[in-house]
Amino acid sequence: MAITLAEAAKLSNDILLVGVIETIIYDSPILQLMPFIEIVGNGLTYNQENEAATAAFYDVGDTWAESTPTFTQKTATLKILGGDADVDNFLKATRSNIQDLEAAVVQLKAKAVQQKFEDTFINGDTTADPKSFDGIDTLCDVNQTVSMGANGATLTLEKLDELIDMLKGGKPDMLLMSRRSRRKLTALSRAAGGVLVTDRNQFGQMVEFYDATPIGVCDWIADDKTVGSSEDCSTIYALKFGEGAVAGLTSPGGLQVERVGSLETRDASRTRVKWYVSIAAFNTIKLAKLIGVRD
C-alpha cells in the first residue's frame, strides 16, 4: 500500500526521524503529495499501461473482436541516496544550551537529501548517472509531450489547458513548474480578468490553483533549456500521483536516520541520513509535459 511521507512520520517513535521527515516535506510540494510504495528487494518490475481496452456495439450473431490493454514491462531499481552529518563533540557539549546542535546539523543534511531527490525526480537520467534513477522528464512518453513550438514560445493559457487535457482519468494532482513559469501564469490569469485561487494545504502553506489543480514550484526545473534555436526555455509538468500513476518506491522503513557513532580519528560523532528510493510511472497517460515555455 502506498503512503505519503507525512503519514509515515506519524507512525515513527523516533523524534529525530520525525523532525527530518517534517524538514524535507515542508519545502517540497512533490514530497507533500506523492505516495511511496514499500518494496522488498532492490527493485520493482511492473507493467506500464500504454493503451486501454476498447468496446463496441454488435448485432445478434456478430463476431466479437477481442481487445485488451497494451503494456510495456518496466523495471525501477532502488538507488542509494544520502549523506553523513558530523557533529563536533566539543561544540555539542558547549553549545547545546543554545540549541540542539546535532538536530540542527542533521536537519541541514536532510534538506540536502530532499534537494537531491527533487532534482533527480525532475532531471534524473540513468544513462548520464547510473547511480541515480530516471526522473519524470525521462519517463514522460513522447506522445504525452506538448510543445510551444519548434523554437518555443511564450506560455499561453490555451497551451496549458492542452497540457492538462493530455492526462486521462481526471485532472492532474499537480502542475509542476519553475518560479518564472509560475509568475507568467499569474500574469496571464490577471490579464484574462481573474486571479489564481489560493488556499492553505495540510501544512498551513498557501498554495495556488489553476483550474482546480494545485501549482507546485520546483527550483530544479531549468529556465535555460534549448528548444530549436531558443536557449531560454522551461518545462511544465502535469502529473497524477498514486499506485496507478506516478509513485515513489522505497525500501521498508523508508527514510532512515542512522547513528554511526564516534569517529576514530576525530572528536566527533556521525549521523547518516539515507534513503533507498526510486520512482515509477505506472501509466503513460498520467504524466505529461509542456516544453519550450519561454518568458
Q: In the predicted model, what is the mean pLDDT of residues 123-140?
A: 97
Q: What is the mean pLDDT of the chain?
A: 91
Task: Indicate if 19 and 160 belong to the same structural domain.
Answer: no
Task: Indicate if 76 and 107 belong to the same structural domain.
Answer: yes
Confidence class for position 1, pLDDT limits 50, 70, 90: low
Task: Indicate if 218 and 147 belong to the same structural domain.
Answer: yes
Task: Indicate if 88 and 10 belong to the same structural domain.
Answer: yes
Q: 24: burial class by Cβ within 10 Å (0-12, 13-18, 19+)?
A: buried
pTM of the model: 0.89
Distance between CA atoms of 240 and 218, rounded to whole angstroms?
16
The domain total for the chain is 2
CATH number of the domain bearing residue 248: 3.30.2400.10
Task: Indicate if 124 and 248 belong to the same structural domain.
Answer: yes
**Residue 57: CB partners within 8 Å, gap ≥ 6?**
none
Task: Indicate if 163 and 199 belong to the same structural domain.
Answer: yes
Q: In the predicted model, what is the mean pLDDT of residues 94-116?
A: 82
Distance between CA atoms of 7 and 16, rounded to whole angstroms?
16
8 A C-beta contact, residue 177 and residue 234:
yes
Task: Indicate if 79 and 163 belong to the same structural domain.
Answer: no
Task: Indicate if 255 and 213 belong to the same structural domain.
Answer: no
8 A C-beta contact, residue 122 and residue 221:
yes
Task: Indicate if 234 and 260 belong to the same structural domain.
Answer: no
> Which amino acid belongs to residue 95?
R
The total number of residues shown for the chain amounts to: 295
Distance between CA atoms of 167 and 284, rounded to whole angstroms?
9
Instruction: Give residue 96's pLDDT.
Output: 59
Question: Does residue 57 belong to any structural domain of this protein?
Answer: no
Helix (H, G, I), strand (E, B) or coil at 39: coil
Task: Indicate if 122 and 197 belong to the same structural domain.
Answer: no
Task: Indicate if 84 and 230 belong to the same structural domain.
Answer: no
> Which amino acid belongs to residue 263?
L
Domain boundaries, position 186: 141-240+284-294
pLDDT tens by residue, 197-208: 899 888 888 899
